[in-house]
Structure 1
Amino acid sequence: MNKRFVPDALAGSNLLPRTPAAAVVTASYAPDFERCRLLCETLDRHVSGVARHYILVEHRDVALFRQLETSRRTVVDERDLLPRWLHAVDDPLSLFRRRVWLSFRTQPLRGWHVQQLRRIAIAAHAREDVLVFCDSDVAFVKPFDCGAFWRDGMTRLFRRDGVLADDGHDEHRVWSRNAGAALGIEPSMASVHDYISTLIAWRRDTVLAMCGRIETVHGRDWVEAVGRARQFSECMIYGRYVDDVLDGAGHFHGSEEFCRVHWTGEALSDDEFRRFVAGMAPEQVAIGMQSFIGTDIGRIRRLIGLDRA
């Protein structure tokens, strides 16, 4: 077991410091490099209240992403976050176009699994009080202050109440059940809430306590315990830990999404993109264009006024 994750925190006050330090955390990879560059530029232009921006990448992508480092932006090698027994290799089943992470302790894991593990693991590396998670295919288009994530010493937990009780959401229900299993929550205590979004915040001390809980329940490293199920969501694990284990301590709930995301479908035309931005809710300050949809990054730059000479 990795004892560094077993906390002695949360024993005292559940309140944050009066002005907590916040770090933005982005997990990325080489095919999203230009999108991540755009995120960095728009974050630097529009976002305040950020002490540091961590970009979490696979070892072979570190040199590429180092181009984005500044005095307040750090690229973090996953080898400094995850156990050395988890090995990334080219996947022959994809004709070596994709990567797979292998070990004798977990299921074979894809990049999207390992990005989630990195987001959890950064809590043991960072020193900031609040971790704000933002995907690399997000761009900020309006001013935003990270102070929106805390109130009266508590951190905002994104939660859509009751949606898992509705038809559909089958995959999210599986993720919720597996989160409960990882945390040692009785299966009868099923959750109907959804915690998945981008541009959300976690408390670092709570993440450390969550990892300690998983290791205590399973008697093994938290990465091994979580990675034994190939269907998991880091957002579900954190949300269920806060609500079902801590009974919400140190957090308040919010259902408004700060980022409007184009999740599926075709790449947007210029007119469709303008309508998409015009349709942002008042509280929304960023847009997300899922990278697999293929919206041209040059078009996005031009339409938000950041095209490069």
Structure 2
Amino acid sequence: MRNAIITASYAPDFERCAILCETIDRLVTGFECHYLLVDMPDKELFAQLEGPKRKILTEAELLPWWMRRIPSMLSPGGRRIWLSPLTVPLHGWHVQQIKRIAAALRLDVDGLLYCDSDTAFVRPFDVQEIWNDDSIRLYRENEGALAAKDAHLHWAAHAARAFGLGDPAGLNHNYVSSIVTWKRQTVVDMCAHMEREHGRSWVSILGATRSFSECMIYGAYVDGVLDGAGHFHDPVTLCSMKWFQPAPSRNEVRAMLDDLEERQVAVGVQSFLPMPAEDFRAAIGGERRAA
């Protein structure tokens, strides 16, 4: 199967994204290209990470013409905000999710491995392992949305509305992880299904609220519409992640490495946690990318 890796990032996460790229170059095989999805103001910064198997895709190549980022001088606190006549005002995190879906529509591959830019591979990994014949791996924590933060239930309800599924009670699984795997054709069919259901762009359907998750959307489509066809469920995340405060020390990250399950190949520390990038690199035994 033909596979691509996709990472959405932005300038404040550049150093962490560079570490991810270093570890992909060193440890990951079985893919054609790693695509970095960034905003136009960040393109020049991230261009230094490009190479034979890594390319930049910007918002201009991924977002509809009617969705525009307002100048930072007009934005409260300088935050990046996108306005459109068809969505509520969206912040960077929401737009990153839309870009992750839009990138799948653009690429000519079979499988997609999405990696958050605050993760890093620490074991060799062949992306072909996400396949079992024609079925692709789908991370799913059964009933996980019930035990997670309240946002997960809002995301599940939004996903149910997007596909006209009615009662979202059957979508209470958690599909959110810092590394996820999708089938490209399923993304194409998913967007077409939303547009048939509502008679408008899938971007406007997702962006009707700021309470959505692209991982929950994809999982709801696979399980709620396709009844799991073309996928096999995996309850083990590929990446062990430190999501919440306090920020870990180097030794605590090293302990995460020691505690990895057999099939886990990466670790991550949420980028909002105040752990310097060099501490993270040192903890995972990484080497700085050559200039």
TM-score by length of 1: 0.89
Look up the match of 1:6.
none
The correspondence for 1:299, drawn from 266, 279, 291, is: 279
Structure 2: how far apart are the matches of 1:155 and 1:110?
31
Look up the match of 2:178.
198
Look up the match of 1:4.
none
Is the Cα contact below 8 Å between 2:75 and 2:81 reproduced in 1?
A: no
The correspondence for 1:33, drawn from 6, 11, 14, is: 14
2:187 aligned counterpart, secondary structure: helix
Deviation at 1:109, TM superposition (A): 0.5
Deviation at 1:164, TM superposition (A): 3.1
Is the Cα contact below 8 Å between 1:177 and 1:190 reproduced in 2?
A: no
Structure 2 CA distance for partners of 1:94 and 1:285, relative to 1, 3 Å: same
Q: Does 1:99 align with 2:119?
A: no
Structure 2: how far apart are the matches of 1:91 and 1:224?
26
**How many percent identity over aligned positions?**
46
Structure 2 CA distance for partners of 1:258 and 1:188, relative to 1, 3 Å: closer
Structure 2: how far apart are the matches of 1:124 and 1:273?
36
Structure 2 CA distance for partners of 1:302 and 1:188, relative to 1, 3 Å: closer
Say how many residue pairs are matched.
Answer: 288
Is the Cα contact below 8 Å between 2:156 and 2:216 reproduced in 1?
A: yes
Structure 1: how far apart are the matches of 2:33 and 2:118?
19
Q: What are the superposed Cα offsets for residues 216-255 of structure 1, whole Å, 9 maximum, x if unpaired?
A: 1111111011101110000111111011111111111111
**Any gaps of 5 or more consecutive residues in structure 1?**
1-19
1:292 aligned counterpart, secondary structure: coil
Structure 2: how far apart are the matches of 1:272 and 1:161?
28
Is the Cα contact below 8 Å between 1:91 and 1:99 reproduced in 2?
A: no
- Tell me whether 84-93 or 50-59 shows the greater mean CA deviation: 84-93
Look up the match of 2:31.
50
Look up the match of 1:5.
none
Structure 2 CA distance for partners of 1:303 and 1:188, relative to 1, 3 Å: closer
**Any gaps of 5 or more consecutive residues in structure 2?**
none
Which residue identity is paired with 1:160? E
Look up the match of 1:275.
255
Structure 2 CA distance for partners of 1:165 and 1:136, relative to 1, 3 Å: closer
Structure 2 CA distance for partners of 1:276 and 1:306, relative to 1, 3 Å: same
Look up the match of 1:128.
109
1:293 aligned counterpart, secondary structure: coil
Aligned Cα root-mean-square deviation (Å) = 1.6
Is the Cα contact below 8 Å between 1:163 and 1:192 reproduced in 2?
A: yes
1:26 aligned counterpart, secondary structure: strand
The aligned runs of 1:1-309 (5 Å cut-off) are 20-89=1-70, 90=72, 92=74, 94-96=76-78, 98-166=79-147, 169-187=149-167, 190-308=170-288
TM-score by length of 2: 0.94
